[in-house]
Amino acid sequence: MSAKTFDQLSERQKNILHFIDRYIHDNGFPPTIRDIVSATNITSTSVVNYNLNKLVEAGFIERETFSSRGLRLIKDIPGGYQTVKASSDVLMIPLIGQIVASEPVNVPDDFSTDPEDAIEIPPSMLGTMDLSEVYALRVKGDSMIDAMIQDGDVVILRRAETARNGEMVAVWLDERSETTLKRFYNENGRVRLQPAHPTMDPIYVDPRHCHIQGKVVSVMRIVH
C-alpha cells in the first residue's frame, strides 16, 4: 500500500472523496458506486471502482466486502465535513424476521438485540445513523435480483414511514396482506412498487394502503 497526501490524488479522486464525505454528512450512511457515478459525471461504474481501489491504496478509505454501501473514510480531507475517528469493533443489529409476501413484519418500538437473533456489521456501514433506528431482514425471493439482492441476503433498514422516488423500501400492503421489498415511486396519486427482475411487473397501489416500514441502507451476503 502506498499512502499519499490529498494533493497527490487525481482531480477525479479528490472529487469522489469530497462526494463521499458530503453524502455521509447529508444522509448518515455511505453512497453506493451508482450514487458516485451519478454525482461525479463518471460514465462507468468500473471507472469509479478503479478509483475507489486507488483511494484504498492511498490510505483514504476502506471498503467492506459484500456491502453495497461498505465505504468508510479513514483519513481527514481538506474542507471535509467528517472528523475521522478510529474504527470500533462491530455493531450488533437485530435480525427481526424475513421480508416475504406474507404476514407484515413487526417492527418493534424498542429493539432488544439478542445475540441469537442479531448480525454483526462494521460501524462504517451505518455512518452517523442512530443505531436504535436500524434493523435487519432476511430476503426471501428474487424480485430484486437485478439490484444485486438475492434470496437469502440480509438487508439493513432504517425505520421510516415515508420515502422519496427511487428509494428501496420494505412496505406492508394492507389490502393484499403482503410485505414486499421494492423501489418506491409516487406517481399521479398512486404508488408504483417496482421490482428489479426482468419478468416481474410493477405493483400499483393506493397510497392509503401502502405502509412503508423502512428504507434499505445496505445489503449483506452472508457467506457460510
Q: pLDDT per residue over 56-77, tens digit each?
A: 999 898 887 656 677 888 888 8
Residues 216 and 112 in one domain: yes
Q: Is residue 86 part of a domain?
A: no
Residue 167: which CATH number? 2.10.109.10
Residues 113 and 203 in one domain: yes
What is the percent of the chain where pLDDT is above 70? 85
Question: 56 and 62 in contact (C-beta within 8 Å)?
Answer: yes
pLDDT at 83 (0 to 100): 63
Q: Is residue 19 part of a domain?
A: yes
Please state, rounded to an integer, the average pLDDT across all residues of the chain. 83
Residues 201 and 101 in one domain: yes
**The C-alpha cell of 60 is what?**
483514504
pLDDT tens across 135-161, in order? 999 998 888 888 888 888 899 999 999
pLDDT at 30 (0 to 100): 83
Cα–Cα distance between 72 and 50 in angstroms, integer?
16
Structural domain including 204 reads 91-220
pLDDT at 10 (0 to 100): 93
Q: Is residue 177 part of a domain?
A: yes
Residues 45 and 143 in one domain: no
Residues 62 and 111 in one domain: no
pTM attached to this predicted model: 0.61
Q: Is residue 46 part of a domain?
A: yes
pLDDT at 111 (0 to 100): 47
Cα–Cα distance between 161 and 45 in angstroms, integer?
31
> Which residues does the annotation mark as catalytic?
143, 182
Pairing of strands 134-139, 91-99: parallel
Total of domains in the chain: 2
**The C-alpha cell of 153 is what?**
441476503
Region 190-210: what's the mean pLDDT? 93
Pairing of strands 168-173, 154-159: unpaired
Residues 126 and 186 in one domain: yes
Pairing of strands 190-194, 203-205: antiparallel
Q: Is residue 82 part of a domain?
A: no
Q: Is residue 155 part of a domain?
A: yes
State which of 19, 40, 73 marks the end of a domain. 73
Question: 26 and 42 in contact (C-beta within 8 Å)?
Answer: no
Provide φ and ψ at 72, rounded to 5°.
-145, 130
Cα–Cα distance between 182 and 147 in angstroms, integer?
10
Please report, in angstroms and rounded to a whole number, the separation of the first and last CA atoms in the chain. Answer: 30
